Structure 1
Amino acid sequence: MGISVDTFFLELNGQGTLQAQIQQMIAEGILSGRFHVGEKLPSSRKLAAHLGVSRITVTLAYTELLANDYLTAKGRSGYFVSQNAPVPPKYSPVQKRDENVDWDTALARRFSDGDVLPKPSNWRDYKYPFIYGQADRKLFDHANWRLCAVRALGHKDFASLTGDYMDQDDPLLIEFIARHTLPRRGIAARPEEILITMGAQNALWLASRILLNRNRTAVIEDPCYYALRDLLNHSDCKVSPLAVDRDGLTPDALPDETDVIFTTPSHQSPTTATMPVDRRHELLKRARELDAMVVEDDYEFEMAFLGSPSPALKSMDRDGRVIYVGSFSKSLFPGLRLGYIVGSEPFIREARALRSLVLRHPPGHIQRTAAYFLSLGHYDAQIRRMSKTLARRREALDSAVEQYGLTVAGRGIMGGSSLWMSAPDRVDTTKLAKKLQSQGVHIEPGASFFNGLHQPRNFYRLGYSSIGRDRIGPGVKLIADAIRSA
């Protein structure tokens, strides 16, 4: 029995080459059990005409599947599902068991009750996705990333692909960060002072575990990155939230018992405020008086398309008390989970040892792929392309916000990829966000960024990294209409 050609179709935004998509389509049909052993595939000519691709593309896909034993060829009769093709598993859902464990007693700690900012998995289906921190596939350099990944799979890089670095990192990636990335922020560091992390969140966790204990006090910004606050709340330390103003954290307000200061001076999260240079010096002076450490999260510094970014706090540090955290998540893509932490050698030694206890090191192949992407100039080219696009989107967003009378609570003076907004006090933006979903609009409620039980409910964030410029105006109008009717 033959498999109908109508069974096959290519997705509009399918990933990979046409040949790879056809291979995947047939393999998935076999693995799912839809295509059975002995069934005949459509001829290459017929399938090519149906899919609108060249015949050689289908032939190459069939040949690859033949080599992998998914298909078999029978003379001039065509291609058939092979007897040796993987057998689809027979799966029967496991019935829920009656458990006798009292989990309220068994769980020594709980980590699932923190603030979370929900990001719908289908956000790309929204017509107006004002989402923050997600990659725009139109701006990402797929072709060169793929080439770098293939190069990292080669024989020359076999050790980086398969080896166990133990507690070390890819030397090419470390060298690029030391020679190119950090100098742009005014930071000079030796390889012994740099550690690769699984993104900024992993770096913040390492810093908190090393610098804090139950007898020490951590100061955080209010509002701040909600995952950092939850992380510290589980660290057994004392957490002291400190309200930020339009210039960020206020050094004079730091309590005398402060041991570690967590701050985002270049681009405050989420208000986008930039700390002036004079205040940065004041912060370092106050930290010196308190003999406190400072953890600087320098996220989104690459997105300074409205002006040159201010020098990093770490570049002004003469005491070695600033721990610097950087990440490629916002500038490349969040799924990469690759960041770095910079500090004095004694600190990095402890961070390296702690990291090795938990995950040893980030995957070597990912590190080497990123190293090639960075060192061959693809990263800088992507940043320039993203900056130009974000500048145009920001202009459109600023214009629409003014046109429809929305209130901006904070806008990055250097750039960035979001605006921090406020609605009238009577508006609960969590409810507003749910209402807007039915109109294909996604906004991010701001309550989770604030500390305490009485979180302000009228703030929200508008990201513009993943929404087309032509959709910004109509989307903002829908938001303004919803706020007026709230």
Structure 2
Amino acid sequence: MAAPVETFFLDQDAQGTLQAQIQQMIAEAILSGRLPRGEKLPSTRRLSTHLGVSRITVTLAYTELQANDYLTSKGRSGFYVSENAPEPPSFKLRSRGEDKVDWGRTIGTNFTGGSTPTKPPDWRRMKYPFIYGQADPTLFDHNSWRLCALRALGQKDHPAMMRDYYDQDDPQLIEFITRHILPRRGILARPEEILITLGAQNALWLTAQVLLTQRRTAAIEDPCYYSLRDILTQSRCHLVKIPVDRGGLAPDALPEGTDVIYTTPSHQSPTTATMPLERRKVLLKRARELEAVVVEDDYDFEMSFLNPPSPALKSLDREGRVIYVGSFSKSLFPGLRLGYLVGSEPFIREARALRSVVLRHPPGLIQRTVAYFLSLGHYDALIRRIGAAYHQRRDVMNTAIEDTGLTIAGRGVFGGSAFWMRAPDDIDTRELADRLMAKDVVIEPGAPFFGSSTPPRNFYRIAYSSIPAVRIPKGISLIGEEIAAMRQTGAK
């Protein structure tokens, strides 16, 4: 296949003959790497028609480039970039130029500067990656996923892959969520009450856009998922931060005037606290008094390998007051970016309309592949395998923490994939994380989870989802040694 002719154009301000301009245009494309060695060029007829010049002009330019070993000719096949393309020619490549736009004035809304931290891009090469939310490829069933993808690519499913769903979703995926996923959380829903999203974060963004305005108030947990706080900050609503305790969010602390309550009752992020059943009922009662809506983020519920999870808050709701957020990104793999919203039909209708404007719908091929992976039993088998591995790793980590004398601030009642830790008050875990990186240890500082301008600096999170059990004791030992070294240095 030849390089697209549409990628070639002449600079209207360029000087020199048309032949020279075409030579320079192609040479620049080769030298910049846009045309790699062996790439076929458009035919002289196509390029001349596209550029609006005579064919002989293009032919002469190609011939001259061939003479200089930029191009080579293969009989009647056409011209190709030579395997011996020379170093840059004597002419100077055109510079891109400098921006003349005052972007500080031109940008109307800033989305940078939030509290969401970045994970080290090379964390997989680290020996002790206690990093949260990343999958362990050794636990994933690659072969079954490949077979499901091939099936989704088959002729039978060709329409499902190729069609434009407009504002709808794959009916097979919706049916499985309705009949198998939601009942495990005690939730009954109709297809009209479910919307597929690009992960839980996209689902949370949709709720903020549909439910909140600059005059409305949202309540969030403190500490909480930092990306949620960034989403709500960008929505410009009034934001109230509710401190969490061992039972999660305290309903009595919700102030009058609260319109939307965001909570993670089954597995609080990041403290891992589980909200007791009685408090969940009190929260629903308080939401009724406030005439507020509750958004329940039920992430990590699949990782309940210690005990069966508590019923979802949505399952206790009899007034359509709870909007439920689920995700496959944690249970399958983060790069999947597939989640779902469950709520009353009027809300889902608006969220669906907004999604269709922004991104139409998640890719049909991915939806159908996931539908097969779920319906053929691979998903349940994967959850059992991950749960067993996490259970072992949790036990190993718990023992290592006790042996090292570190302090656990929170651990999931039902399982999960991480521990919420507390270092001594004089330890800044941002500095601790930087120092540990030099020892191939990755931890997550806790400050970004807090909404205060002066958050506590001594919390951190360590996960066991991405590290083999055999490496956990040594990694925990290195954390303990570094904390001790920092305290000793501070004491001096």
Does TM-score exceed 0.5, indicating one fold?
Answer: yes
* Alpha-carbon distance change, 372 to 278 in structure 1, aligned in 2, over 3 angstroms: same
Q: Which amino acid aligns with 2:357?
A: L
CA distance in 2, matches of 1:373, 1:282: 38
Aligned to 2:216: 216
CA deviation after TM superposition for structure 1 residue 425, in Å? 1.1
Task: Report whether the alignment pairs 1:120 with 2:120.
Answer: yes
CA distance in 1, matches of 2:289, 2:331: 36
CA distance in 1, matches of 2:110, 2:235: 12
Q: Which amino acid aligns with 1:242?
A: I
CA deviation after TM superposition for structure 1 residue 455, in Å? 1.2
Q: Which amino acid aligns with 1:199?
A: G
Task: Say if 2:277 and 2:310, in contact at 8 Å, map to a contact too.
Answer: yes
Task: Say if 1:33 and 1:88, in contact at 8 Å, map to a contact too.
Answer: no
Aligned to 1:320: 320
Aligned to 1:64: none
Task: Say if 2:39 and 2:81, in contact at 8 Å, map to a contact too.
Answer: no
1:137-286 equivalences under 5 Å are 137-286=137-286
Aligned to 1:410: 410
DSSP 3-state at the match of 1:118: coil
Q: Which amino acid aligns with 2:308?
A: S
Aligned to 2:372: 372
1:290-309 equivalences under 5 Å are 290-309=290-309
CA displacement, residues 191-216 of structure 1 (integer Å, 9 cap, x when unaligned): 00000000001100111111110111
CA displacement, residues 302-327 of structure 1 (integer Å, 9 cap, x when unaligned): 00011010000000000001000000
* Alpha-carbon distance change, 276 to 32 in structure 1, aligned in 2, over 3 angstroms: farther
Task: Say if 2:37 and 2:82, in contact at 8 Å, map to a contact too.
Answer: no
CA displacement, residues 80-139 of structure 1 (integer Å, 9 cap, x when unaligned): xxx789859999998452222111111111111001222111111000000111010000
CA displacement, residues 216-239 of structure 1 (integer Å, 9 cap, x when unaligned): 100000000000000000102101
CA distance in 1, matches of 2:343, 2:39: 58
Unaligned runs of at least 5 residues, structure 2? 1-32, 41-76, 487-492
DSSP 3-state at the match of 2:245: coil
* Alpha-carbon distance change, 108 to 88 in structure 1, aligned in 2, over 3 angstroms: farther
1:377-388 equivalences under 5 Å are 377-388=377-388
The number of aligned residues is 414
TM-score (norm 2): 0.81
* Alpha-carbon distance change, 347 to 478 in structure 1, aligned in 2, over 3 angstroms: same
Aligned to 1:311: 311
Task: Say if 1:31 and 1:88, in contact at 8 Å, map to a contact too.
Answer: no
Unaligned runs of at least 5 residues, structure 1? 1-29, 38-82
* Alpha-carbon distance change, 176 to 424 in structure 1, aligned in 2, over 3 angstroms: same
Task: Say if 1:396 and 1:469, in contact at 8 Å, map to a contact too.
Answer: yes
Aligned to 1:135: 135
* Alpha-carbon distance change, 94 to 284 in structure 1, aligned in 2, over 3 angstroms: farther
CA distance in 2, matches of 1:84, 1:211: 59
Q: Which amino acid aligns with 1:433?
A: A
Aligned to 1:337: 337
Aligned to 1:53: none
Task: Say if 2:38 and 2:82, in contact at 8 Å, map to a contact too.
Answer: no
CA distance in 1, matches of 2:118, 2:405: 27
CA distance in 1, matches of 2:306, 2:281: 23
Aligned to 1:423: 423
CA distance in 2, matches of 1:451, 1:302: 28
Q: Which amino acid aligns with 1:150?
A: L
DSSP 3-state at the match of 2:248: coil
DSSP 3-state at the match of 2:296: strand
* Alpha-carbon distance change, 126 to 34 in structure 1, aligned in 2, over 3 angstroms: farther
CA distance in 1, matches of 2:93, 2:273: 51
* Alpha-carbon distance change, 85 to 124 in structure 1, aligned in 2, over 3 angstroms: farther
CA distance in 2, matches of 1:396, 1:433: 22
* Alpha-carbon distance change, 36 to 216 in structure 1, aligned in 2, over 3 angstroms: closer
CA distance in 1, matches of 2:323, 2:79: 53
* Alpha-carbon distance change, 455 to 94 in structure 1, aligned in 2, over 3 angstroms: farther
CA distance in 2, matches of 1:135, 1:99: 40
CA distance in 2, matches of 1:173, 1:223: 34
CA distance in 2, matches of 1:98, 1:342: 48
CA displacement, residues 340-391 of structure 1 (integer Å, 9 cap, x when unaligned): 0000111111111010010010000000000000000000000000000000
* Alpha-carbon distance change, 382 to 457 in structure 1, aligned in 2, over 3 angstroms: same
Q: Which amino acid aligns with 1:451?
A: G
* Alpha-carbon distance change, 154 to 84 in structure 1, aligned in 2, over 3 angstroms: farther
Q: Which amino acid aligns with 2:289?
A: E
CA distance in 1, matches of 2:262, 2:385: 31
CA distance in 2, matches of 1:390, 1:188: 29
Task: Say if 2:39 and 2:80, in contact at 8 Å, map to a contact too.
Answer: no
